[in-house]
Structure 1
Amino acid sequence: MRGERALIARHAGTVLVGQLAVMAFGVTDTIIAGRYSEHALAALSVGAAVFVSVYVSLMGVLQALLPIWAELHGGGRGGEVGRSVRQSLYLAAIAIMVGMVILLLPGSVLQWTQVPADMRGEVEAYLAVLAFALAPALLFRLFSTLNQSLGRPQLVTRLQLGSLVVKLPLSIWFTFGGAGLPAMGLVGCGWATLCVNWTMLGCAIWLLRSRPFYADYGLWKRIEAPDWQQIRKFARLGVPGGLAVLVEVTSFTLMALFIARLGTAAAAAHQIASNLLAVAYMTPLSLAIATSARVSFWLGAGDAAKARHACRQGFELTAVCALFYAAVMAALRNELANVYSDNPAVIAMAGALLLAVALYHFADAVQTFCVFVLRCYRVTLAPLVIYCTMLWGVGLGGSYLLAYRGLGPWAAMQSPLAFWIMSAAALALTALLFGVLLRWTMRQRAR
């Protein structure tokens, strides 16, 4: 029993280090933009929200392939992994094209959400640079998903840590200028991300070609013509998974865009809260990835009892870590806000938001774990319906009413706190429903 828990913890710990290195990109950009100007930080809040919505949604489609490759690995069918990975490149190409179009043409989204006109130009310029950073980011995600499914995330983590060493100085240099380079402001952070993403992809390709570990999977055989049966299998798992992530992320993104109309102080405070939440989220995400890899491995090996055991061990670790992070955010809310800004109004508002963020994080951790394990059992449509109802309906719709129109006996708050309160409540309901669904699914499989 302890062996399975330790294996999940080691896998998750390795993934977490890499994920935190990548999240440090966002933390670095947030701090640098905040020190450059309050306007740049507010523009980053909007631009990052749009990019993350696109990237994470498309990443969800590719990440959903993990159970397929983990099952092949667990069933001892390594020879089929290479062909499956090559076929996934067709799905990745479609995802890249869709994402680039959205990032290059964000005007209608910014106008619909009433982002202030003086902010749009900087946001659009930032997104235009990130559009060309999307392809290497998604292809590197395929490399990461493959390694996670095979239980070998170490190489991915090393690359992610190394990339941070490059990202930090580039972001500072491009943003503030120096050594003959003019200051680019927020767009400089985008250019730094583009350079780092292409470098990481180049290193990943070199590793795939040179490391003996990958030789048995036949990854570099000539790519076959599209196998539409295989691609449909990917789509049945990946598209609902990606849409579910889209609903979750866009509810978060639209929150940022709606808050932008409350002014730069509100947008900056929301960006601080969002960034801290994103950092904390990496732990339950890493545990969900590690646990789903183990659950799928045992399902592929034909041992449903060990799959259930792995699920229980992973859930216990996730719940304990989530409680710890929530307590830290609540207790140190003002000190954490002060790291990002020296504006008293922004610090005070961000500190208030972090109380709601603590509740949000615990619910987010539970629902993330459940939805990843449900994918191992090929349950994807029910979570999508729950996400749409709870996050868009109760969370985002209720937030907008509470903030700007009033909700029942409560008057309009005209504060970003309204969005965090309602979103936390919606996510708590989502976590409860996912927990019930996962328990029912595992019982059905046991029978």
Structure 2
Amino acid sequence: MTTTSFSQKVKQFLIIFLPIFTTQIALSAMSFFDTNMSGKFSPADLAGVAIGTSLWMPVQTGLSGILIGITPVVSHLLGSKRKDQIGHSVIQALYLGIAVSLAVLAIGAMILTPILNGMPLEPRVAQVALYFLCALAFGILPLFGYTVLRSFMDALGQTRITMFITLVSLPVNILLNYLLIFGRWGFPQLGGVGAGVATACTYWLIFLISIFFVHRIEPFAQYGVFRHLTGVSLGKWKELLKIGVPIGFATFFETSIFAAVTLMMSRFDTITIAAHQAALNFASTLYMLPVSICMALTILVGYEAGAGRLRDAKQYSLLGIGGAIVLSLLTAVVLLVFGEQIAGLYSNEHEVIALTQHFLIYAIFFQISDAIATPTQGALRGYKDVNPALMITFVAYWIIGLPVGYITATYTSLGAFGYWIGLIAGLAVGATALLWRLFLVQRKTAVRMVEQSN
């Protein structure tokens, strides 16, 4: 809805943000329980799931980012009162999601085994990683389909619905993890591989529930997404890809840097890999705060920019980024005070707990940079300004962050912790550059609106 005061904006922001945050936490909790419960089974299973997750997550987040491009498209159509075009855009995004899923499955079948064979992994760790990813593959198509339908529902401001869907599925995921990892109630004891099977089943559940809501429940049903099926429109795919590909690659560059670090750490022992993954998994859970604000800003800034209300769009940007910074400082305190207890959630072994706690100290610094960079990207997407962010993230993370991490880890006494120094450096550079880009976009957009009005 259109807002006129700052207090109304705060209220609408919270209405949009809180369900998104709850949804992201629930989705992250699936990864958390995969890692946590696999770690309780054995350190080798924890390391195997860590390697498998590190290979899959950059692909998932990057390609999901492409499909998330439907969010600013729908937000702009909604803000500019062109609701009749929304249903067609969503079904084309679904077709695109199916095509992406099939491509991932085909490529993965060819390259997964050679990649794992090329890594210096213990045999048990490599085996768990391979079969974890094979099991997860059965959930790729529903995951990408759900990503499109969720983005559509969120863009309409109905973030509570996607929150409900995800919260319903989380207990199912935890139960299946329990049954399949540990072999309870007559189910096979699959260890870390069972986490992959459980996650794939959960993806099918949330996809089917989403189809029901979009097809039968208002306000989604009025757009007739599944009522008026059309053929593939390459023109609409081009529009979606023009926005989605830069979003996807920017997301890929950010998430893959963490995966690259995990893979490069395979030269260390299993205990170090397990501790690194445990700390990174918890840091990823904290990352759900800025990423949820990012998604809320894409919706709200996109709606206001689509309607030409630039002052309101700017106020939402400031509100979201400022809120993210405050929350990051609060989570920093949590990591400092409860580091040992957090580490204990992932393992029963003293050596793993102590090393995880040390990694969590480094996590404090890069999650503060995330609090600036990630919401800023959300605001830029709301303005449909996506290409510069792609270049900024690539340079910050891969040209600066990874080399600094490698040099520090290889040529100093910091060892594995050196990679986290590189992460901190890259994220700090990225946050500064993205914030500067947002200021430029807001200024250029305001000038353009003045020129058009004259």
Whether 2:31 is the aligned partner of 1:26: answer: yes
Q: Which residue does the alignment assign to 2:78?
A: 73
- The answer as to whether partners of 1:51 and 1:103 remain within 8 angstroms in 2 is no
For 1:340, the aligned partner's letter is Y
2:230 aligned to which of 197, 202, 224: 224
Distance in 1, Cα, partners of 2:274 & 2:131: 19
**1:5 equivalenced with 2:10 (yes/no):** yes
Task: List aligned pairs for 1:39-438, cutoff 5 A.
Answer: 39-104=44-109, 105-404=111-410, 406=411, 411-415=412-416, 417-438=417-438
Q: Deviation of residue 116 (structure 1)?
A: 4.0
**Distance change (3 Å), C-alpha of 1:213 and 1:134:** same
Deviations 1:199-223 (A, max 9, x none): 1111111112221312321212332
Counterpart for residue 38 of structure 1: 43
Alpha-carbon distance in 1 for matches of 2:321, 2:408: 33
Q: 1:436 to 1:127 in 2, by over 3 A?
A: same
Aligned length, in residue pairs: 441
Unaligned runs of 5+ in 1: none
Structure 1 residue 233, shift from structure 2 partner: 1.2
* CA deviation vs aligned residue, 1:282-313 (integer Å, no higher than 9, x gap): 11111111122111111121211111111111
Tell me the SS of whatever aligns to 1:248. Answer: helix
Letter of the 2:414 partner, please give it: M
Q: Which piece of structure 1 moves more, 145-154 or 207-216?
A: 207-216
Give the aligned CA root-mean-square deviation in angstroms: 1.5
Cα deviation digits, residues 56-92 of structure 1 (max 9, x gap): 1111111122111011111221111001111112321
| Aligned residues of 1:51 and 1:130 also touching (Cα < 8 A) | no
Unaligned runs of 5+ in 2: 1-5, 448-454
Give the counterpart letter for 2:70 in structure 1: L
Deviation of 1:112 (Å): 4.4
Q: Provide the C-alpha distance between the structure 2 equivalents of 1:383 and 1:440, rounded to a whole number of angstroms.
A: 13
Distance change in 2, residues 1:148/1:346 (3 Å): same
Structure 2: which amino acid aligns with 1:294? L
Classify 1:102/1:120 alpha carbon distance in 2 versus 1 (closer, same or farther; 3 Å).
farther
1:231-278: CA deviation from partner (whole Å, max 9, x where unpaired): 111111111111111111111101111112201111111111111111
Of 316-325 and 437-446, the range deviating more from structure 2: 316-325
Q: 1:418 is matched by which residue type in structure 2? A: G
| Contact persistence 2:317–2:376 (CA under 8 A) | no
Q: TM-score, normalised by structure 1?
A: 0.95
Structure 1 residue 34, shift from structure 2 partner: 0.9
Residues 63 and 100, structure 2, Cα contact 8 Å, conserved in 1: yes
Aligned partner of residue 182 in structure 1, secondary structure: coil
Kept in 2: contact 1:262–1:414 (CA 8 A): no
- 198-207 vs 116-125, which moves further: 116-125
Aligned to 2:450: none
Contact kept, 8 Å, 2:215 with 2:224, in 1: the verdict is no
Preserved CA contact (<8 Å) 1:287 1:318: yes
Deviations 1:363-416 (A, max 9, x none): 112111111211222222221112121101221122122212x1xxxx25332x
Offset, 1:118: 4.1
SS of the residue corresponding to residue 332 of structure 1 reads helix
Q: Does the alignment pair 1:14 with 2:15?
A: no
Contact in 2 for aligned 1:58/1:99 (Cα 8 Å): no
Once residues 13 and 112 of structure 2 are traced to their aligned partners in structure 1, the CA distance between those partners, rounded to angstroms, is 40
Read off the aligned partner of 2:294 and give its amino acid letter. Answer: A
In structure 2, distance between residues paired with 1:111 and 1:413: 28
Kindly state the Cα deviation for residue 99 of structure 1 after the two structures are TM-superposed.
2.2
Contact 2:250 2:393 in 1 (8 A): yes
User: Which amino acid in structure 2 is aligned with residue 31 of structure 1?
Assistant: N
- Call closer, same or farther: CA 1:345–1:102 in 2, change over 3 Å: farther
**For the residues of structure 2 that align with 1:250 and 1:20, how far apart are their CA atoms?**
20
Mean Cα displacement is larger for which, 320-329 or 98-107? 98-107
Q: Indicate if the aligned counterparts of 2:139 and 2:199 stay in contact, CA closer than 8 A.
A: yes
Measured at CA, do residues 102 and 245 of structure 1 come closer, stay the same or move farther in structure 2, by a change above 3 Å?
Answer: farther
